[in-house]
Structure 1
Amino acid sequence: MTRSIIDKRLNQFESLIPKTSPLKEPIIVCFGISFKSKKVCKNWEIVQKNLSNTLRSIFNNTKSNFLIVVAGHEKPKIAEIENEKVKWISSPFKPPISPKGFNLDKRKKRILIGAYLRTIHFNGYYMHLDADDLIHYKFIEYLNSLPLKKAFIIRESFMINTNIKEIWVTKRFYLHCGSSSVIYFNTNELPLSFKRDKSKFSKFAFTSHRLTHSKFKKNDYQFLDQPLVLRVFGYGDNNMTIKGLININVSSLQYRSKGVTYGDWIWNHFNV
Structure 2
Amino acid sequence: MLVFIIPLKSPQFSNSWERVTQLFERCIKSVCNQTSANFRVIVVCHEKPKIEFNHSHITYITVDFSPANETNPVAKGDTDKGRKILKGLIYARQFCPTHTMAVDADDCVSKKLAKFIQQHPDSDGWFINKGYKYQEGSKYIYIKRNNFYKMCGTCNITRYDLNYLPEAPEYNRGYGYYRYYIDHGKVRDILKNKAKAIKSLPFPGAVYILETGENLFDNSKRLRFSIFNRKLLNQSIRDEFGLYKLQQFS
TM over 0.5: yes
- The 1:148/1:257 distance shift into structure 2, 3 A limit, reads farther
Aligned to 1:38: 11
Distance 1:101 1:79 in 2: 30
- The 1:40/1:202 distance shift into structure 2, 3 A limit, reads closer
Deviations for 1:181-213, whole angstroms, at most 9, x for unmatched residues?
Answer: 10011499534454169xxx966315x111111
Is residue 31 of structure 2 the alignment partner of residue 62 of structure 1? Answer: no
* Length, aligned pairs only: 233
Deviation at 1:173, TM superposition (A): 0.3
> What SS does the corresponding residue of 1:53 show, helix, strand or coil?
helix
Distance 1:264 1:45 in 2: 27
1:213 corresponds to which letter in structure 2? R
Aligned to 1:9: none
Aligned to 2:131: 157
Task: State the identity %.
Answer: 22
Within 5 Å, which residues of 2 pair with 1:101-180?
101-118=76-93, 120=94, 122-146=96-120, 148-170=122-144, 171-180=146-155
Distance 1:232 1:188 in 2: 25
Distance 1:147 1:88 in 2: 25
Deviation at 1:228, TM superposition (A): 1.4
Structure 1 residue ranges, 4+ long, deviating more than 3 angstroms after superposition: 95-100, 186-194, 201-204, 217-220
Distance 2:163 2:117 in 1: 23
1:65 corresponds to which letter in structure 2? N
Match among 197, 205, 209 for residue 181 of structure 2: 205
2:8 corresponds to which letter in structure 1? F
Aligned to 1:84: 56
- The 1:224/1:44 distance shift into structure 2, 3 A limit, reads same
Contact 1:152 1:181 in 2 (8 A): yes
- The 1:121/1:230 distance shift into structure 2, 3 A limit, reads closer
Aligned to 2:219: 246
- TM-score in terms of structure 1 length: 0.75
Is residue 205 of structure 2 the alignment partner of residue 228 of structure 1? Answer: yes
> What SS does the corresponding residue of 2:208 show, helix, strand or coil?
strand
Q: Which runs of 5+ in 2 are unaligned?
A: 244-250
- The 1:193/1:73 distance shift into structure 2, 3 A limit, reads farther
- TM-score in terms of structure 2 length: 0.81
Contact 1:121 1:187 in 2 (8 A): no
Distance 2:65 2:6 in 1: 16
Contact 2:10 2:45 in 1 (8 A): yes
After TM superposition, the structure 1 stretch with the greater mean CA deviation from structure 2, 62-71 or 90-99, is 90-99
- The 1:92/1:64 distance shift into structure 2, 3 A limit, reads same
2:240 corresponds to which letter in structure 1? H
Aligned to 1:11: none
- The 1:71/1:193 distance shift into structure 2, 3 A limit, reads farther
Deviation at 1:238, TM superposition (A): 1.8
